[in-house]
């Protein structure tokens, strides 16, 4: 239960960390730390406007999106703290739960019948398709190194304190960070703050949502941000830590995760849309690199 609560708690903060980092690097004071929460609070008090071309799908989809992110969060452990639900192959369910939420959101977007939403959906599914092999390869690497079949068992057993595996741990964390950037629509794949609809990916999909629906989608996005962060954190935290030190490690690593995203967003420009495919294949190559390194380490008798 502890990892789940930690994910929920960090979901409320990561966005603030990113904003603060970005503001500080730009020499601004920045908005309040919990400003995203206040924005969503305002949205929760508003009513929705639905497109004339929409059906029940648009009304249900945001709730399904949030619920599926929450269900995926149930499957994540933190080091030796096991996940709420855990079974052999739970990472497959994890990937498909997030895909299910995405499917719901894509269909809701396409219901609006606008080309912006169509554009956003097409890009979103294309990018997540290209990054999916990376996620599975990274998890496959972990499964190979530990010989286990579920997230909880893998991260409880993943011993990154030996010299060889420390390197692997860094590659994995970097890989998960990249998957997180793509799945959450952050720079360099997508820019959440872009003002031009033609260059939007994730934001274009939710253009026609309003009120409570938009609030649900925002909350789902926070959750996804910290879910993917949780994977990177799990790869990084030292093995065999437990109790309060583990929670402190988590807090430190999660803050670092937010700070790194903020840093990337301050220092890098968004890719040209046509270059994204190449970039994403490179991300998958990181997964393959991790896998190959682990394979060589395993066969050379480690």
Q: Which is nearer to another protein, 6 or 214 (CB)?
A: 214
Stretch that binds another protein, among 11-19, 147-155, 177-185, 232-240 (CB under 8 A): 147-155
Q: Which parts of 171-190 interact with another protein (CB under 8 A)?
A: none
Contact yes or no for 101/68 (Cβ under 8 A): yes
Q: What's the rounded Cα separation, in Å, for the pair 87 and 89?
A: 6
The only residue of 12, 23, 50, 247 in contact with another protein, by rule CB under 8 A = 50
76 CA to centre of own chain: 12
Q: Which is nearer to another protein, 91 or 176 (CB)?
A: 91
CB 260, min distance to another protein, A: 25
CB 223, min distance to another protein, A: 12
Token code pair at residue 250: 């988590």
Residue 56 CB-density burial (10 A; 0-12 exposed, 13-18 middle, 19+ buried): exposed
Q: Which is nearer to another protein, 30 or 118 (CB)?
A: 118
Contact yes or no for 284/130 (Cβ under 8 A): yes
CB 60, min distance to another protein, A: 7
Q: Which parts of 115-144 interact with another protein (CB under 8 A)?
A: 115-119, 121-123, 125-126, 128-130, 132-133, 135-137, 139-140, 143-144
Return the SS3 of 186.
coil
Measuring CA to CA, how many Å separate 262 from each of 11, 14, 58, 191, 299?
15, 10, 32, 12, 39
Q: Which parts of 191-220 interact with another protein (CB under 8 A)?
A: 197, 207-208, 211-213, 216
Question: The dihedral of CA 122, 128, 133, 134: what is its sign?
Answer: positive
Q: Which parts of 225-284 interact with another protein (CB under 8 A)?
A: 273-274, 277, 284
- Identify the CA nearest to 268 among candidates 187, 186, 176, 178: 187
CB 69, min distance to another protein, A: 10
Q: Which is nearer to another protein, 92 or 248 (CB)?
A: 92
CB 167, min distance to another protein, A: 19
Q: Which is nearer to another protein, 89 or 245 (CB)?
A: 89
> What mask of x and - would describe binding to another protein in positions 91 to 120, judged by CB under 8 A?
xxx--xx-xx-xx--xx--xxxxxxxxxx-
CB 52, min distance to another protein, A: 5
CB 27, min distance to another protein, A: 33
Contact yes or no for 189/272 (Cβ under 8 A): no
Residues in the chain: 302
Contact yes or no for 226/149 (Cβ under 8 A): no
Q: What's the rounded Cα separation, in Å, for the pair 112 and 105?
A: 11
Q: Which parts of 10-49 interact with another protein (CB under 8 A)?
A: 44-45, 47-49
Q: Which is nearer to another protein, 24 or 59 (CB)?
A: 59
Which of the 8 DSSP states describes residue 238?
Answer: P
CB 211, min distance to another protein, A: 8
> What mask of x and - would describe binding to another protein in positions 57 to 96, judged by CB under 8 A?
x-xx--xx-xxx-xx--x----------x-xxx-xxx--x
Token code pair at residue 253: 């690593």
Strand partners of residue 78: 81
């Amino acid at each position: 239960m502890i990892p789940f609560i930690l994910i929920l708690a960090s979901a409320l903060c990561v966005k603030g960390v990113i904003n603060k980092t970005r503001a500080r690097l730009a020499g601004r004071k920045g908005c309040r730390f919990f400003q995203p929460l206040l924005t969503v609070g305002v949205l929760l008090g508003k009513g929705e406007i639905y497109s004339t071309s929409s059906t029940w799908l648009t009304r249900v989809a945001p709730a399904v999106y949030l619920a599926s992110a929450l269900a995926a969060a149930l499957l994540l452990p933190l080091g030796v703290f096991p996940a709420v639900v855990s079974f052999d192959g739970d990472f497959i369910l994890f990937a498909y739960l997030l895909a299910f939420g995405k499917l719901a959101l894509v269909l809701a977007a396409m219901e609006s019948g606008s080309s912006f939403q169509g554009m956003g959906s097409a890009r979103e599914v294309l990018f997540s398709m290209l990054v999916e092999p990376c996620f599975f390869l990274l998890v496959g690497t972990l499964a190979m190194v530990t010989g286990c079949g579920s997230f909880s068992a893998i991260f409880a057993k993943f011993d990154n304190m030996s010299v060889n595996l420390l390197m692997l741990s860094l590659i994995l964390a970097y890989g998960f960070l990249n998957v997180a950037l793509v799945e959450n629509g952050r720079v360099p794949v997508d820019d959440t703050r872009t003002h031009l609809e033609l260059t939007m990916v994730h934001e274009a999909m939710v253009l026609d949502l309003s009120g409570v629906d938009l609030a649900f989608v925002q909350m789902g996005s926070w959750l996804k941000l910290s879910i993917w962060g949780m994977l990177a954190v799990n790869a990084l935290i030292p093995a065999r830590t437990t109790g309060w030190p583990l929670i402190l490690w988590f807090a430190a690593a999660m803050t670092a995760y937010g700070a790194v995203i903020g840093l990337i967003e301050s220092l890098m420009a968004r890719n040209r849309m046509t270059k994204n495919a190449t970039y994403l294949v490179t991300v998958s190559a990181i997964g393959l690199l991790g896998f190959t390194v682990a394979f060589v380490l395993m066969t050379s008798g480690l």
